[in-house]
Amino acid sequence: MTARPNLSAIDHEALARRIDRQWDAEIVPQLIDYVRLPAKSPHFDPDWVKNGHIEAAIQQARRWVEAQGVNGLALDIVRIEGRTPVLFFDIPATRGASDERPVLFYGHLDKQPEMTGWREGLGPWIPVYEDGKLYGRGGADDGYAVFAALAAVMALDAEGIARPRCVGLIETCEESGSYDLPAYLDLLAPRMGEVQLVVALDSGAGNYEQLWVTTSLRGLVNGTLEVRILEEGVHSGDAGGIVPSSFRIARQVLDRIDDSRTGVVKPAAFNCDIPADRLAQAAQAAAILGDSVWKRFPWAACCDDHGTASLFAEPVTKDPTELVLNRTWRAALAVTGADGLPPTGAAGNVQRPFTKLKLSLRIPPLVDGPSAGAHLKATLEADPPYRARVVFEGDSAATGWNAPPVAPWLSAALDAASMANFGRSAAYMGEGGTIPFMGMLGVKFPQAQMLVTGVLGPKSNAHGPNEFLHVPYAKRVTVATAMVVAAAP
């Protein structure tokens, strides 16, 4: 086995120029075509097999990877009957580096649904490239990952820089909770071998000015709460004051979960003690980000006493450390959809028979997802007000993830790569979203180091309208990733 190179000896500028050219000439055009594909995750497209959009996305990625002519590349679309497919690639080590302890790249090609509110001229399946940003669904979350991973490997090879064996697992079920992934991990783990480093390019960035390393991910419990008080709607003048509102009952049972005034999630089953190192990292991240922790969101304008729209809505607190902890290590409940409420223009004076709400409960990294899901159901359904019919049907319950301690070689490589590409040291912060894959990989490869990073920085708005990929930042993340891979022992 050859010794790993000193990153300071790598010609960073040559590596960056090569990756920059490939992004401009090949990757951006590929991602423009990818954005056009409505490859919604199976949860949002039950007819995904018939519609063929996921198949189109994975075939596009396969064609591009295959066309790169990487020496020794083995490439498969792996299929298990009844499950979404995965793309798997395997590239041997170079220059005497390790074939036995590979680096595993992870990404996904499935997408979130359309969402309303896109700016005029933009849309989920309408790629628009302007000011270095590629707008449209999925480019940043997470279609770029397979292209960036190959670009990093190819640049190292072209520059004659030794690297270990690299394997890639690109799934198509992540936005549905990765429920198909465990079967593929069981199938493919023997082919991967003893993974020493997992590189997951599916996370966020606090800013676009340094490399951000994700240290933890929250879990997620979601499902549908239905409150039914009548079998059919009745005149509100006739029933008002006699029949309780199904919406008011829903508010009552939701108040068992979070305080409607503060948003604090109350039950101990949805909370955990925050480790001391994560508290310290949150304070460090808050010092870097300051007010941008909350100012990066599109707050609604409101009027002052003179009717001038000069004021804006505000966050629950302006303490940046508390806000970092709120979005990474504390539970939060959101209502993300509703049935039973007609559009306002079509709403008559009718007492509605039911209210149905889609709930999304983010839970801290150390809280068990299935246990939290069972507790949520029991809490919502217990002792229903007015003996209404209250039912919670869970969709999924995913446990979060807390990264293992960072090995000295990885810590040094991350700082060196960030300094070379951004002129700043790497920054560490938890993320509020959920990537079930990370917990699965932690179980499957307990000795592996984890580099979870990504390009979802301020205003990139994954899952929402006007989602974009910040291409200049993605280029630099690709170069930084290549440097870290080169440093792997």
If you classify domain 7-217+401-487 with CATH, what class do you get?
alpha beta
List helix spans (H) across 290-407.
292-295, 320-328, 369-381
What's the pLDDT score for residue 248?
97
What's the pLDDT score for residue 311?
75
Q: Nearest Cα to 192, choosing from 83, 78, 289?
A: 78
φ and ψ at residue 10, rounded to 5 degrees: -75, 140
If you classify domain 219-274+329-398 with CATH, what class do you get?
alpha beta
Specify the DSSP element, H or E, that contains 61. Answer: helix 53-67
What's the pLDDT score for residue 28?
98
Other Cβ atoms within 10 Å of 276 Cβ, number: 8
| Euclidean distance between CA atoms 471 and 32, whole angstroms | 12
What's the pLDDT score for residue 301?
84
| Euclidean distance between CA atoms 266 and 165, whole angstroms | 47
Q: How far is CA 207 from the centre of its chain?
A: 16
Query: Is 457 strand, coil or helix?
Result: coil
345, 351, 354, 355 alpha-carbon torsion, rounded to 10°: 50
For the chain, the structural domain boundaries read 7-217+401-487, 219-274+329-398
| Euclidean distance between CA atoms 65 and 477, whole angstroms | 19
φ and ψ at residue 199, rounded to 5 degrees: -115, 110
Distances in Å between the alpha carbon of 381 and those of 24, 270, 375, 377?
Answer: 54, 17, 10, 6
- Residue pLDDT, tens place only, 232-282: 999 999 999 999 999 999 999 999 999 999 999 999 999 999 999 999 999
What's the pLDDT score for residue 433?
87
What's the pLDDT score for residue 111?
98
Distances in Å between the alpha carbon of 135 and those of 124, 125, 145, 147, 467?
Answer: 8, 9, 16, 17, 6
pLDDT tens-digit profile, the chain (489 residues): 444 556 777 889 999 999 999 999 999 999 999 999 999 999 999 999 999 999 999 999 999 999 999 999 999 999 999 999 999 999 999 998 889 999 999 999 999 999 999 999 999 999 999 999 999 999 999 999 999 999 999 999 999 999 999 999 999 999 998 999 999 999 999 999 999 999 999 999 999 999 999 999 999 999 999 999 999 999 999 999 999 999 999 999 999 999 999 999 999 999 999 999 999 999 999 999 999 999 988 888 876 666 565 678 889 999 999 999 999 999 999 999 999 999 999 999 999 999 999 999 999 999 999 999 999 999 999 999 999 999 999 998 989 999 999 999 999 999 999 999 999 999 999 999 888 888 888 888 899 999 999 999 999 999 999 999 999 999 999 999 999 999 998
What's the pLDDT score for residue 1?
45
What's the pLDDT score for residue 396?
87
What's the pLDDT score for residue 98?
81
Residue 270 carries which DSSP code? G
